[in-house]
Amino acid sequence: MQDEELPEVLSQAIVCPRDKLPLKRKGPFLLCRNGHYYPIVHGVPVLLVAGCEQTIEVANASLAAARRFATGETPEDPLFTATLGINEEERQGALAEIRQASAPVDPVAKFMIGATNGILYRDLIGKIGEYPIPELRLSPGVGKQLLDVGCNWGRWSVAAARLGYRGIGLDPSLGAVLAARRITKQLGLEAHFVVGDARFLPFVGNSFDVVFSYSVIQHFSEQDARTAVAEVGRVLKPGRTSLIQMPNKFGLRCLFHQMRRRFRQPAGFEVRYRSIHQLGNLFSSAIGPTQFSTDCFFGIGLQATDLRFMPFGRRCLIRASEFLRVLSDHVPILTHLADSLYIESVKPAQLTSG
């Protein structure tokens, strides 16, 4: 499996995340002319930057596991669960699922559901019998190239592929990215995946029609968030759009969470809460003209497409959120009270000389 070739679309899109130079294949590694090298695991390039402070610890675990694999070590754990960031019970549950060859849901997705979808899904960990694929609020994108930043096991990449986008997903978790690759193949969809860091996007500039991200940049420090958003602007084609989800500092549920931690400064991978004004400044300065819309109320991650998974009380909560979301299109002030926002930014078209 170490000799598995990279898909052409991926080979043409990726560059060294440090200096943006082209990469050449040499055995189980990719190298740039400055001597930076990156492992390949089962056809997935691991383009993380070593030697810097990572935004999440799973990145270091992914680097270590990928290097061991590329140097010929056979992994004892085929799911690379040490790179997932889940607890030991969940890790063992995922490994036990491997024996069920005909299981309809990939083990990683089954046990990552709480981490990727939010607190309302905690009771579904290890229990889902189908993939909870959300609705991507974009128009159909037949042939358009989409980057999913922080794709994890690929739920948004699946949603994008079903809308016709040619998607590339990126995440620092090797185990999650390999799961995303398995899942899209299982579902008969075309998508490609890279292990990488949102602050060092390993892609050619001006190459994506859409950059999407959900529940990722909200965990970054101010400096890391500025760097990541600037990278989104760099890889986005002129005149094209990014759609990024972020929490709202003044959302009712977000205020509750801030009160619980006594409004102290966040640490590590904790959620950072920013106001619409702060978010507008961040995205408009790094990408271009920016506007906001409501994602949901009463938390982050509530999806109407997941009603069938929920008990009665949570279905009522999701329906109430959906009602307010639709109403916010006609009563814009409600967006300022939403807990989760979509930020849509357009990169200005390049000026042409007369």
Contact (Cβ atoms closer than 8 angstroms) between residue 292 and residue 341: yes
For residue 80, being part of any structural domain is answered with no
For residue 71, being part of any structural domain is answered with no
- Structural domain including 216 reads 200-346
Contact (Cβ atoms closer than 8 angstroms) between residue 7 and residue 190: no
Interatomic CA distance for residues 88 and 83, integer angstroms: 12
Interatomic CA distance for residues 261 and 256, integer angstroms: 9
What is the SS3 assignment for 14? strand
pTM score of the predicted model? 0.95
What is the mean pLDDT of the segment spanning 265-286? 96
For residue 15, being part of any structural domain is answered with no
For residue 152, being part of any structural domain is answered with no
**Confidence at residue 351, expressed as pLDDT on a 0 to 100 scale:** 47
CATH number at 304 reads 3.40.50.150
For residue 30, being part of any structural domain is answered with no
For residue 315, being part of any structural domain is answered with yes
Contact (Cβ atoms closer than 8 angstroms) between residue 273 and residue 105: no
pLDDT at 101 over 90: no
Interatomic CA distance for residues 278 and 263, integer angstroms: 17
Tokens representing 37 are: 């090298």
pLDDT at 330 over 60: yes
For residue 26, being part of any structural domain is answered with no
- Our count of domains for the chain comes to 1
Arithmetic mean of pLDDT over the chain? 94
* Pick from 212, 270, 215, 222: nearest CA to 247: 215
**Confidence at residue 1, expressed as pLDDT on a 0 to 100 scale:** 43
Q: What is the pLDDT confidence band of residue 124, given thresholds at 50, 70 and 90?
A: very high
For residue 67, being part of any structural domain is answered with no
